A = this chain, B = another copy of it.
Amino acid sequence: MSTRVLLVECEDRPGLVHGITGVLFRRGLNIVGNQEFVDAGTARFYMRTEFDGVVEAEPLLNELRAVLPAAADVRLSDLAPKRIVVFASKEHHCLADLLVRHEFGQLNARLLAVVSNHESLAPLVAKFNLPFHHLGHGDGGRESHEAGLQRILEGYQPEFLVLAKYMRILSPGFVGQFPSRIINIHHSFLPAFVGAKPYHQAFQRGVKVIGATAHFVTDHLDEGPIIVQQVIPVDHTHTPRDLAQAGHDVEQIVLARALKLVFEDRVFLCGNRTVIFD
């Protein structure tokens, strides 16, 4: 007997909580945590319920569908570690943080491999005995590069791709194959400073706070649904390089926090916004 998580998203109507909890109650399943949210603008209902007890998935889901609107999205998760592949470039800090958390079983994920457009992080990955795939540039443009990525990913069948400071833009075609399954860390407090060199932009603008944003990747660069954001204060003594260094710590914390939420099935999408039950 172990903890499972029920995830429900549907149009709102009276009696949903009563109906859903009734199904669980009649089957003798013990609710240990329960969170609901109704988005007023869209009238969508979201619910995440942790329960203990032995149950077969399909009969339970069928019984739940019977008390829910026709187009309801109902899922059951056993909170098993997610299968992930991490993309990186030259900066080590986010990748190293994920490798350490993975090594000590704190990521709730099975890190299958690291892919990079540079070779410099190969020795770091080797320390943790994980596969490292180098896929350089200059080999026929983005199309060819992404075909190479595809071939690598086919061998792993990951549930999620994590862009841990991966400094290359993925095409809509590539992104479209992993809907809501690519998570990126952007080194600014989005929507401030989209695009390249956000720390240089922040320096030019003279901001007194910098931040980092973890978000799902969509077709539109830096515009996907935001999962976690956090900031730190800076001042006039910070050069762009100082800003980047100061930002590294917040970047890795924000990415790790976002992955924890996603991998524990705590994040729903609501249009371009996220509903997060933490």
Q: Point out the residues of chain B lying under 8 angstroms from A104, CB to CB.
A: 92-93, 96
- Which candidate, A12-20, A58-66, A69-77, A151-159, is the interface stretch facing chain B? A12-20
Residue A80 at the chain B interface, CB threshold 8 Å? no
Question: How many of A's residues come within 8 Å of B, CB to CB?
Answer: 64
Residue A2 at the chain B interface, CB threshold 8 Å? no
Q: Point out the residues of chain B lying under 8 angstroms from A190, CB to CB.
A: 192, 205, 207
What's the least CB distance linking A27 to chain B, in Å? Answer: 11
Instruction: Tell me if A30 and B17 are in contact (CB < 8 A).
Output: no
Instruction: State the number of copies, please.
Output: 4
Instruction: Tell me if B253 and A228 are in contact (CB < 8 A).
Output: no
Q: Point out the residues of chain B lying under 8 angstroms from A39, CB to CB.
A: 236
Q: Which of A184-242 contact B (CB under 8 A)?
A: 189-193, 204-209, 211, 225-231, 235-237, 239
Q: Point out the residues of chain B lying under 8 angstroms from A209, CB to CB.
A: 189, 211, 229-231
Distance A38 CA – B32 CA, assembled complex (angstroms): 8
Residue A21 at the chain B interface, CB threshold 8 Å? yes
Q: Point out the residues of chain B lying under 8 angstroms from A274, CB to CB.
A: 206, 236
Known: A100-B96, A100-B100, A189-B192. A25 touches B14 (CB 8 A): yes
Q: Point out the residues of chain B lying under 8 angstroms from A193, CB to CB.
A: 191
Instruction: Tell me if B207 and A37 are in contact (CB < 8 A).
Output: no
Residue A142 at the chain B interface, CB threshold 8 Å? no
Q: Point out the residues of chain B lying under 8 angstroms from A211, CB to CB.
A: 209, 231
Which B residue sits closest to A95, measured CB to CB? B100
Instruction: Tell me if B15 and A18 are in contact (CB < 8 A).
Output: no
- Binary flags per residue of A13-51, CB closer than 8 Å to B gives 1, else 0: 011011001101100101111111111100000000000
Q: List 20 A-B contacts (CB under 8 A).
A: A14-B30, A18-B18, A39-B236, A40-B239, A93-B100, A97-B100, A103-B124, A106-B245, A127-B128, A189-B192, A191-B205, A192-B192, A206-B273, A207-B229, A208-B229, A231-B231, A236-B273, A236-B274, A236-B276, A249-B253
Instruction: Give chain A's interface residues, CB within 8 Å of chain B.
Output: 14-15, 17-18, 21-22, 24-25, 28, 30-40, 92-93, 96-97, 100, 103-104, 106, 124, 127-128, 189-193, 204-209, 211, 225-231, 235-237, 239, 245, 249, 253, 256, 270, 272-276
